């Protein structure tokens, strides 16, 4: 049966969800799970958790755990990536230094200064995993859950022969949100979605073939609906389409919401939101660990993540469609070829087959391009080792550019490069290489 | 419920198959079938046939029949095209005139002189149907079963706003053939297929993830296997891949098999095969008609045509993958953008979503391009009204070019243009326009 | 001999320059100049001016002047477009209304709110000229000098069969500037330039094959050099490349320089600069008119505009290279296909042949794309008549987005739409259509 | 001053022509010529010849000669490639073996079996030269004169960082031919040419802006004109356009002229023409050598080859247009991206800048594609080392396919692979690898 390797299995809560999902399919009950992490304590907890779920599901699956990543990858059919490079500590840096310069952030995991540095410290590790895979499981499929999704998958697609797909749940979650705003069962929604990760668009939204956008515009007029998703509704009002990531995320992908206090208040922008979430994640890990140690009852409910269904489709041939992040091989015709897009993908025994989308509405392609500008520069920085691209990525960031001067951006980037140094790739060229040394 | 219009419903045997397929789905039992044809007798038979199937399936569906095509199309959700312009009489011309010049053919419905003239007389009618659809059912999906598939769908995609897909059964049939040659249940075959209609390629052929091509090469060594499919096995020996259309078809898409008697004999090429099939079709219509008139028992078995499953997927949202013929929007990256390709398509409530394939192996792209050369010229001839493109299409045909001189090709084309005149589009430009008049 | 029609010939100063240039070529001395304008007074002055130049050049050329544009265009070989729709009055509106919202501008003729509305009022007139040309001189070449260059040429290329090229002098002027900063004769500079109009990049800058960028970075360190071109040097410091338009222009194409007073002061941004220039233009017209009336001596010096050399190359076959604005037929591979780019073009008897450039450095493509986002939306607004694209163009403008909230942008756009109404196209669709009516 | 290295300088007659051309430019009189060859005798003759020309041109230039290719290349600015791998002996094989199978050829240096094997033995040597250049003169421009042009330049562009251009004189020669058929001075012809090497098309042919094709069609009616260029006129009659290579070449790029004796006679096809030319080349070398040894008078007349003007333009900045063979970076939009096309190129200090052409007429693109099919397979064979592509290249050749059966093609290819073995690349994979061994 299939061997599923989970890299970063110490993300116990998310790993639990995926293992539960996989074992919910009878055809996958004999799966071998190979867990690996760099943190022994977390890996130990993950192993116990996995064994427990296997037991609750009849005991057919096999669990292995090892600190040796290469060993865990050897012979894998599927590799799930859940790593978080630098953990909470790096996240704090991502928020604190920009704040000194007056630059506020909400989630900072996708774009913006936070997203850029998260990518800079994560891409090298992910490419390292790919190098290992090329040697010990060259035909395995990499299913990535780590952010920033677009930059990571873009870097992998450009520099590794490993087949890969980036997975998120923002399409599913947004469908749930829309169903609730429209007061309709989510199963009745028919939709067409495409764009880039966290900024994909509901290009069509229908029930029984009838356009639901007029309803949604009406729903937005109600205060209780509008107040649940202010930024996304405001963007829909301007762009005519609803976007896949939440209001807190969307506010920092654009220059419209965080540049002054009045707007922050008007749109309820939760500054520093991810710092709080990151703290809660640490707590949840502790709680989960304690529960497992104490042998307490265990909540195992099937999620709507795409990972398990993909494995099921590839093993059994069941046709499924999921939204995946892949290289833009002319799938979205008015976004750059050199970018990573989120499009419907057919999954079956032939693997991942992304579907052709065509042109996005002009204004949506324009919004996506402002984000792709940043993404391309970050990927280029890592793949070429030229440090100038890091500064230029910051400079192209729509939110950062609306708040800081070029001089401030350069100083802030200098500081961040030093603060994150242990996790960053070794830069070898660029005019700014010298200046950085001077700062040191 | 959905309204399904069948244009050319007088193709009673095929129409019967599609109606049976549709009614085999419980969710489609209320379908309204609107039948139309230009032949009153055939339409009458089709109507009786349809009513009989409806009755056998519980009587929920509705049947309409009219000679007024526009009326039949009004408000349709799906339009199935089964027309055959010129019928048996035109087919005879397609074979007889070339034969006078020493040019033999087998099926003559896809490429070659026969395919070219079949396209020239069919495209104008099909575009006329599309014009009607644009007015009376602009959102309906056109499902085309008429040949030559690639040229027809190419012309529609280039000149109409109607959504369309071209459907064939060569992928399914070839899978059956391969299963029998390999002595394996067809359900166990895993394959990846792409190319152009009637010349698509089994790019992967596996069971349980293991490549079956070595087995197939071994099977070919056995005389009883080889003799069943000589041309396709010979082509596999040379190109390393198996093709989707039968040996009799394949022999006339290339310059390798019909250019001399020795080869015709060596590869058992059935010259004039389609003339015989066309005669049998006339007989089968008579038999079917008689049976219906006499109220005799009726054979209604579900087929493996894609038409009904597509309608089912679009109505219910069930994900399915089918091989469809669509415009090459960079789906196959080393075939021209201006061509019609056969690729896997995801079908669900969002309609037809063709999947990205990428590059074909170089030799397969090369073979496909020799056929696309002809197809583009035929489409150009109809869409521009320039008669020179007709002669040049004949000149580019690989089989014709291997047998005739340029002078012979021009004379033969002159004769064919005159013989088929009543069904052809009105040509308005081109150097050869004058010469043609001279012949008259 | 060639017939050269000048539309907007009332732009007397510029028309004088082009006529002088053309007559400086002996091979073009028999040119027929056909002048047209909507302003009788200006046209009269232009005619007298033209006759004077002809006289000074031996009297071989012929001059016609007519208010009937169609008559002027009939049989033309070259059409020079110099129109300015709305004149000084519209320019004032472009500056005054935004200023009420706190949005400052410098030139406002390329991008930003001013550029958007200049395009909205100019594209319809230019397309009207093209419609006339399609009928009365379908093979003539349109040489456009009116701004905003990129949007105008993009609209023409997308919707007319007329061959066209957009001409500017920013490449030549910037070469002069660079030569002076480097203290080198301009003839010794070797450069490779590409991008979009007013934001093209000196990709290579050499003398005798040796890179001059290190010299330029050194020159920038000198206060007297830096102070002459602060914004462009600052951008070079960040992006590593020098840009083709002046510091005053460049400051409003980006979000970095006008968003607060400190930056405006630091970089000497000349707010409202174009209002002053526009006033001076009116004065210069009066002076020129007076001189002509009084029969005073006349300054006729050859310029470095591309118009005359292009006509000379096309008439005589002399190979020349000029930088022209044309549709991006994969010339710059990492800018959108649906955009207008500025690239080297070969000119000879075969006409305009744009050269392939390839990928721009990633950061430069990113900067260009932020401007193309706006351009595409403006062109779409005019070609579709959908008013929403106007608001979305404003929303995508990098400078505007760094200063205003979405609500402010919408109000400002409402006001501008009303104030400019007489010159705008008739919008027929879009969600914002209703709101606009409400404002009225 | 510039260093020009001539590889294969032993092609004394051609080397003489290029050196003469270069020294005809005053600005290039100080050129250093570095001659290299693998044949000492020929190299010696070349050196003496070069010294003589230098002397006749004032003695400013410098001449070096060495058998050490790497030494000759070190520090070069321009590298002219004139090599002929296998010389006359290999040419004989290219003609003799196919003839045994009934396959006749005329020139056999571009396409067909002869062209394929010429490419197979030349590409490895040329790539080896490029490897050397990457190390000792990475910025030099490679100007290639060796055939088969398209396959060679395609292979170089796909696998080396060296800038390169392929040069031929078929455009210039054909212009001369056309001028003589039309009885017009060649300087008065205006033309637009594009396609692939030896099969590029006169897309426009004018004088004073007036189409000359009607004249050319009239001229063709005269027997004395037609008889000078039968194949090309016949192709023009069918395709409506004139092609750049001569009738003897063109006859073997298509399936229309050599497949039976009657056609060979009707069109005066000079079978084995190149064997005779190759013998004459050997004689001309002897004559030239003798003359040089005897110190006899020397014919040095400027040619119309592009090599020297390119060097002059790149050294002085003079704008020129030449037809060059380069990778198809969307220059001809309906030919494959993975091919080498012949298009107008602007030459100046910025180097080689190919111009955008757009779509060819459909029938011309179709003809080109039948040749590109073969070219891609040959390049793939060398770059991948897979022997199957060699057989498949033969199989795709239009002329070969019209004459031989697949079995005959395979046998003939087997024989040729053995006969040419010493010059061929080492093939490492492919189904036919085994069979070849069996033959041995």
A257-278 pLDDT, tens per residue?
999 999 999 999 999 999 999 9
User: pLDDT digits over B337-383, tens only?
Assistant: 999 999 999 999 999 999 999 999 999 999 999 999 999 999 999 99
Confidence of residue B438 (pLDDT cuts 50, 70, 90): low
B410-437 burial, b if ≥16 CB within 10 A, otherwise e? bbbbbbbbebbeebbbebeebebeeebe
- Which chains are adjacent to chain B, needing at least 3 Cβ pairs under 8 Å? A, D
So which residues of C are the catalytic ones?
A: 169
Looking at residue C301, what is its pLDDT? 83
CATH classification (class only), C88-106+167-440: alpha beta
Q: Kindly state which CATH superfamily the domain D3-87+107-166 is placed in.
A: NAD(P)-binding Rossmann-like Domain (3.40.50.720)
The answer to whether the beta carbons of residues B114 and B95 sit under 8 Å apart is yes
Are D and A touching by the rule of 3+ CB pairs within 8 Å? Answer: no
CB atoms A353 and B355 under 8 Å: yes
Q: Are the beta carbons of A319 and B317 separated by less than 8 Å?
A: no
Q: Tell me the longest C-alpha to C-alpha distance in chain D.
A: 64
For an interface test with C, which of A102, A392, A414 has the most C Cβ atoms less than 10 Å from its Cβ?
Answer: A392
Q: Check whether B197 is labelled as a binding-site residue.
A: no
Domain spans, chain B: 3-87+107-166, 88-106+167-440
Cβ–Cβ under 8 Å, residues D21 and D172 = no
Share of chain A above pLDDT 70, in %: 98
**Pairing relationship of beta strands D320-327 and D210-211 according to DSSP bridges:** unpaired
The overall longest dimension of chain A from CA atoms, in Å, is: 64
Task: Tell me how close the Cα of B213 comes to any Cα of chain A, in angstroms.
Answer: 16
pLDDT tens digit sequence for D262-287 = 999 999 999 999 999 999 999 999 99
Q: Give pLDDT, residue B1.
A: 81
Mean predicted confidence (pLDDT) in B263-275: 98
Question: Is beta strand C32-36 parallel, antiparallel or unpaired with respect to C3-7?
Answer: parallel
C-alpha to C-alpha distances, A237 to A220, A222, A240, B81, B383, nearest whole angstrom: 9, 14, 6, 42, 42
Dist CA A4 CA D79 (whole Å): 55
CB contact under 8 A, C238 and A406: yes
Residues 6+ apart with CB under 8 A from A246: A170, A173, A229, A232
- Residues A343 and A194 sit within 8 Å (Cβ to Cβ): yes
Which residues in chain A have Cβ-Cβ distances shorter than 8 Å to B353? 344, 346, 355-356
Chain C to chain D, count of Cβ pairs less than 8 Å apart?
A: 63
Best of B214, B363, B380 to disrupt the D interface by mutation (most D CBs within 10 Å)?
Answer: B363
Q: Which chain A residues are Cβ-neighbours of C395 within 8 angstroms?
A: 238, 256, 363
Nearest Cα to Cα of residue A130 among A405, A383, A396 = A383
| Residue range C165-194: mean pLDDT, rounded | 97
Q: Is the pLDDT of residue B439 over 60?
A: no
Residue D7 to residues D86, D132, D433, Cα–Cα distance (Å): 15, 12, 33
pLDDT at A76 over 70: yes
Tell me how close the Cα of C118 comes to any Cα of chain D, in angstroms: 31
Mutation for C interface: A241, A256, A360, A365, most C CBs within 10 A: A256
The percent of residues above 70 in pLDDT, for chain B, comes to: 98
Is-contact B343 B305, C-beta < 8 A? no
Q: Which residues pair with C207 in a beta bridge?
A: C210
Chain B: give the shortest CA distance to residue A351, in Å: 10
| Cα–Cα distance for residue pair A133/A129, rounded to 1 Å | 6
Question: pLDDT grade, residue D297 (50/70/90)?
Answer: confident
The residues facing D165 across adjacent strands are D143
pLDDT recorded at residue C436 = 65
Handedness of CA A89, A91, A97, A100 (dihedral sign): negative
Distances (CA, A) of D85 to A36, C17, C36, D90, D109: 57, 59, 66, 8, 12
- Return the pLDDT at A377: 98
Residues in chain D closer than 8 A to C320 (CB atoms): 319
> Can you tell me the mean pLDDT for C87-97?
98
Query: Mean pLDDT across the stretch A166-182?
Result: 98
pLDDT of D29? 96
Instruction: Give the residue carrying structure tokens 């499902």.
Output: B143
What is the pLDDT at residue A439?
Answer: 52
Binding residues of A for substrate: 147
Which residue, among A113, A118, A111, has the nearest Cα to A88 in the 3D structure? A118
- Are the beta carbons of B321 and A358 separated by less than 8 Å? no
Is residue A390's pLDDT more than 90? yes
What are A433's two structure tokens? Answer: 């290489």
User: Is the Cβ pair A238, C392 closer than 8 Å?
Assistant: yes
CB contact under 8 A, D238 and B376: no
Query: Is B406 within 8 Å of D338 when comparing Cβ atoms?
Result: no
Average pLDDT over residues D236-240: 98
List, for residues A297-328, the tens digit of each pLDDT value: 776 788 999 999 999 999 999 999 999 999 99
Radius of gyration of chain D (CA): 22
- Does A321 contact B348 at a Cβ distance shorter than 8 Å? yes
Residue given tokens 């339009």 in the structure block:
B79
Q: Report CB contact under 8 Å: C356, D353.
A: yes
Confidence of residue B437 (pLDDT cuts 50, 70, 90): low
Which residues are bridge partners to B79 per DSSP? Answer: B5, B142
What does pLDDT average to over chain D?
96
pLDDT tens digits along D47-68: 999 999 999 999 999 999 999 9
- DSSP-derived 3-state class of residue D187: helix
Residue D334 in tokens: 């309906």
Backbone angles phi, psi at D299, to 5 degrees: -85, 110
In chain A, the N- to C-terminal Cα span, in Å, equals 53
Chain D residues with a Cβ under 8 Å from any Cβ in chain C: 190-192, 204, 206, 317, 319-321, 329-331, 333, 344, 346, 348-350, 353-356, 358
Positions of D marked catalytic = 169
Annotated binding site of A for Mn(2+): 168, 198
Q: Report CB contact under 8 Å: C353, D355.
A: yes
A271: nearest Cα among A260, A285, A280 = A260
Residues of B contacting chain A (CB within 8 angstroms): 190-192, 204, 206, 317, 319-321, 329-331, 333, 344, 346, 348-350, 353-356, 358
Calculate mean pLDDT across residues C286-314.
Answer: 90
Q: What Rg do the C-alpha atoms of chain C give, in angstroms?
A: 22
Mean pLDDT over residues C372-376, rounded? 98
- Could you tell me which chain B residue has the CA closest to the CA of D367? B396
**B47-99 tens-digit pLDDT:** 999 999 999 999 999 999 999 999 999 999 999 999 999 999 999 999 999 99
- Average pLDDT of the segment spanning A55-74: 96
User: Is D343:D333 a contact under the CB 8 Å cutoff?
Assistant: no
> What are the pLDDT digits (tens) for C223-252?
999 999 999 999 999 999 999 999 999 999
> Which chain B residues are within 8 Å of D238, Cβ to Cβ?
391-392, 395, 406, 410
- Nearest CB neighbour to D256, from listed B263, B376, B405: B405
Which two tokens mark B339? Answer: 């061509």
Question: Quick one: pLDDT at residue B300?
Answer: 72
Instruction: Say whether B386 counts as a known binding-site residue.
Output: no
Please name the chains neighbouring D, where neighbouring means 3+ C-beta pairs under 8 angstroms.
B, C
pLDDT at residue number A15: 96
- Please judge whether D392 and B239 are an interchain contact, meaning their C-beta atoms are less than 8 angstroms apart: yes
Which residue is closest to C390 within chain A, CA to CA? A363
CA-nearest of B167, B188, B126, B165 to B303 is: B167
D86-109 pLDDT, tens per residue?
999 999 999 999 999 999 999 999
Active site residues of B: 169
For residue D182, the cross-strand partners are: none
CA A272 to chain centroid, in Å, comes to 18
Residues of chain B in contact with residue A319, where contact means CB-CB under 8 angstroms, are: 319-321, 346
Nearest CB among B255, B391, B392 relative to D402 is that of B255
- Count CB-CB contacts under 10 A for residue B291: 16
> Predicted confidence band at C437 (pLDDT cuts at 50, 70, 90)?
low
**In chain D, what residues touch B384 (CB-CB under 8 Å)?**
none
Mark yes or no for CB contact A346/B350 under 8 Å.
no
Contact D333 C329 (CB under 8 A): yes
CA of C358 vs chain A CAs: smallest distance (Å): 13
- Indicate whether A371 pLDDT > 90: yes
Please give the pLDDT value at position D438.
52
CA distance, residue B313 to nearest chain D CA (Å): 36
D289 falls in which pLDDT band (50, 70, 90)? very high
Pairing of strands C78-81, C3-7: parallel
What are the tens digits of pLDDT across the range D370-418? 999 999 999 999 999 999 999 999 999 999 999 999 999 999 999 999 9
C300: pLDDT confidence band, cut at 50, 70 and 90?
A: confident
CA-to-CA distance for D376 and D393, rounded, in angstroms? Answer: 8
Going by pLDDT thresholds of 50, 70 and 90, the confidence category of residue A249 is: very high
Q: Which residue blocks in D307-387 are alpha helix, DSSP H?
A: 307-316, 362-384
Which of A374, A401, A432 has the most C C-beta neighbours within 10 Å, making it the best mutation to test the interface with C? A401
Task: Determine the Cα–Cα distance for residues C23 and A266; give it in Å rounded to an integer.
Answer: 63
What is the rounded average pLDDT for all residues in chain B? Answer: 96
What digits encode the pLDDT tens for the residues A108-140?
Answer: 999 999 999 999 999 999 999 999 999 999 999
Element (H, E) at C214: helix C213-220
pLDDT band of B436, cuts 50, 70, 90:
low
């Amino acid at each position: 049966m299939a061997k599923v390797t989970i890299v970063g299995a110490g993300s116990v809560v998310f790993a639990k969800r995926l293992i539960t999902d996989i074992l919910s399919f009878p055809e996958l009950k004999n799966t071998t799970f190979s867990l690996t992490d760099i943190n022994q304590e977390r890996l130990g907890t993950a192993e116990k958790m996995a064994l427990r779920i296997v037991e609750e599901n009849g005991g057919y699956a096999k669990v292995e755990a090892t600190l040796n990543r290469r060993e865990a990858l050897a012979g894998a059919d599927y590799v799930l990536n859940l790593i978080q490079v630098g953990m909470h500590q790096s996240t704090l840096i991502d928020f604190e230094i920009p704040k000194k310069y007056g630059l506020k952030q909400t989630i900072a995991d996708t774009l913006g200064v936070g997203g850029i540095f998260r990518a800079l410290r994560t891409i090298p590790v992910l490419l390292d995993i790919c190098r290992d895979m090329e040697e010990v499981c060259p035909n395995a499929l990499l299913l990535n859950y780590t952010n920033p999704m677009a930059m990571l998958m873009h870097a992998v697609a450009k520099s590794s022969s490993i087949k890969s797909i980036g997975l998120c749940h923002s399409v599913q979650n947004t469908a749930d949100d829309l169903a609730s705003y429209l007061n309709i069962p989510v199963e009745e929604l028919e939709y067409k979605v495409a764009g880039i990760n966290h900024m994909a668009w509901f290009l069509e939204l229908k029930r029984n073939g009838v356009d639901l956008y007029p309803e949604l515009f009406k729903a937005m007029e109600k205060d209780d609906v509008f107040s649940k998703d202010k930024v996304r509704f405001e963007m829909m009002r301007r762009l005519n389409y609803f976007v896949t990531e939440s209001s807190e995320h969307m506010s920092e992908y654009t220059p419209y919401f965080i540049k002054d206090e009045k707007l922050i208040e008007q749109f309820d922008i939760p500054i520093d939101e991810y710092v709080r979430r990151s703290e809660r994640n640490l707590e949840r890990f502790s709680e989960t660990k304690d529960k497992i140690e104490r042998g307490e009852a265990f909540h195992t409910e099937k999620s709507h993540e795409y990972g398990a269904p993909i494995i099921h489709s590839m093993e059994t041939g069941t046709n499924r469609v999921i939204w995946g992040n892949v290289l833009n091989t002319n799938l979205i015709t008015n976004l750059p070829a050199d970018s990573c897009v989120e499009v419907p993908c057919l999954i079956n025994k032939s693997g991942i087959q992304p579907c052709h989308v065509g042109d996005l509405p002009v204004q949506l392609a324009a919004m996506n391009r402002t984000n792709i500008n940043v993404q391309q520069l970050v990927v280029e920085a890592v793949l070429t080792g030229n440090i100038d691209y890091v500064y230029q990525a910051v400079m192209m960031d729509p939110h950062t550019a609306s708040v800081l001067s070029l001089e401030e951006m350069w100083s802030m980037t200098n500081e961040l490069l030093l603060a994150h140094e242990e996790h960053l790739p070794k830069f070898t060229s660029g005019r700014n290489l010298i200046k950085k040394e001077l700062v040191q």
